[in-house]
Amino acid sequence: MWSIFILTFLIWTSVQTKQIPLSKIHLNSDGLFTDSRGFIKLFRGFNNVHKHFPWYNVNSTNITQLEMFKNWGLNVVRLGVMWSGVKPTISIVNTTYLDVIENVIDLYADYGIYVILDMHQDVLSSLYGLYDGIPLWLIEKFKRPPHHLQYPWPYKKKPDFWVMSYLTYECANGAQQLYNNVSGAWNHWGEFWEIVARRFGGKSNVLGYELINEPPPGNFYTNPLRGLPGYAGRYNLQPVYDYLVKRIRKYDNSTLIFYEPVTYGVFTPVRSSGWLGTGFDRVPGAHRDKSAPSKSVLSYHYYCWILQTDAQNTTMPFWKKVICDRLLLPNVISNAIRATKSTGGGRFLTEFGLCGDDGNPRSVNTIECNNILNEADKHFESWTYWDSNLLDLSGNPIVTEVKSFIRPYPHSIRGVFRKQQFDHKTGDFHLSFIANTTKEQNNEKQTLIAEIYIPRSVHYPNGFSMSVKPDNLSTKMNENMMYVYLPSGVSNASVFVRIEIVRKSIE
């Protein structure tokens, strides 16, 4: 009897959670993410990267957590697909690992979540102090420097702060050998991406392939110019990126390519000299494929470096607020915008964080992450948060973080963004956009022009009041999604839409 009940419950649950298949995402001529209906989409999500064996997070398939993510409007995960997981040795493809990753991707699809498949690394190798983002079997094929230059030189011991390992001679030299195709490194790297593209390219919720996380600049000891992000981007990254795109496109010609500059490239202004900025004068593969800009996304990260050694729950000094939030943050996003205007293609803030609202309005945690979220809203940036999925170690929601990160946003619109603003303290939300319709759509009874995510349980437990202009628009709520419709017979092809939402207090 109980077995029949449980089986019935599982079947019912499967039916309830099954999504309408997600459409493959493309870029429009403005570099904006677009679905098969022609709607512009924004993405909100987090990183899911496991940096040690078994190279995946065992909680990725936790149904309770997936239900929470769906309820919170999270629609993308930057998922680590680790090279050492796919190719544990030079001759073995770990199909068991690929099966696990496929199961995770498919489960995410069931909950309306897209994935960016991220070949993650930090300081390349366990030989240089961390983990094997680049497989150890490849690193061991590289020629080691003379003993006195080996890791951790120029330090006397392994650095306490892992990122400082990027400054060691051997890590820089290892990166340069990777870029110089020593020991057939490109072929092995390309093989990894062919395996991934063949296996997952047909899945509609695979948003993109991220070629490598936070690529180091190369050996700046032997050539100091490589320390300049634009120089490293042009002469070290662009050639190998072109090669990797060619390998991927043999099996998948449509999934978006996410490519990163040297991390600090977006912290410097774009210059025609190519020594600063990203260094990319075109997107990867564009020299062969003129359509490459419509399939390429600049992936960039923002961390305010002067905060990285601070205790995140301490009061944030005013001078650091000025540097981080008035100077660096707006300039990084502006530089990313300028870079993609030059090359074409889209952009995506794939990492930021190491912070989260802790309830103290003056703490580094609270101020830094809220400012980043507000600036991203201002520019309609899609983002994936690092290093949390808003849950504590027991899997329970961190309430202050949820209230900060989970906010209303235009999930999909038929038109052009104009303004977006949200106050997570009051719940006030303002959105404006220009809705574009065709004559055929105007002849319909009503035309869907927007899908607005509204976190009712998080910010509006007692309901909300709203103003939608012009007055002839109609709305319909379904769980946390508000659908906005334009009536038939509208003569204007473009309609300026304004939506304001205000939290209701307890009566």
Tell me what pLDDT residue 166 has: 98
Q: Is the pLDDT of residue 81 over 90?
A: yes
Name the nearest CA neighbour of 201 among 249, 243, 260: 249
Q: Which residues pair with 431 in a beta bridge?
A: 420, 499
- Summarised one tens digit per residue, pLDDT across range 16-71 is 445 578 999 999 999 999 999 999 999 999 999 999 999 999 999 999 999 999 99
Tell me what pLDDT residue 308 has: 76
Name the nearest CA neighbour of 332 among 358, 291, 300, 359: 300
Q: Is the pLDDT of residue 13 over 50?
A: no
- Name the least confident of 32-46, 103-117, 125-139, 382-396: 382-396
DSSP 136-165: HHHHTTSPPPPGGGSTTTTSSS--SSGGGG
Tell me what pLDDT residue 19 has: 57
- Summarised one tens digit per residue, pLDDT across range 359-417 is 899 998 889 999 999 999 999 999 999 987 799 988 999 999 999 999 999 999 999 99
The domain locations on the chain are 46-406, 408-507
Give the CA radius of gyration of the chain: 23
pTM of the model: 0.94
464 in helix, strand or coil? strand
- Summarised one tens digit per residue, pLDDT across range 431-445 is 999 999 765 555 567
Q: Is the pLDDT of residue 206 over 70?
A: yes
Tell me what pLDDT residue 334 has: 97
Assigned fold of 408-507: Immunoglobulin-like (2.60.40)
CATH architecture observed for domain 46-406: Alpha-Beta Barrel (3.20)
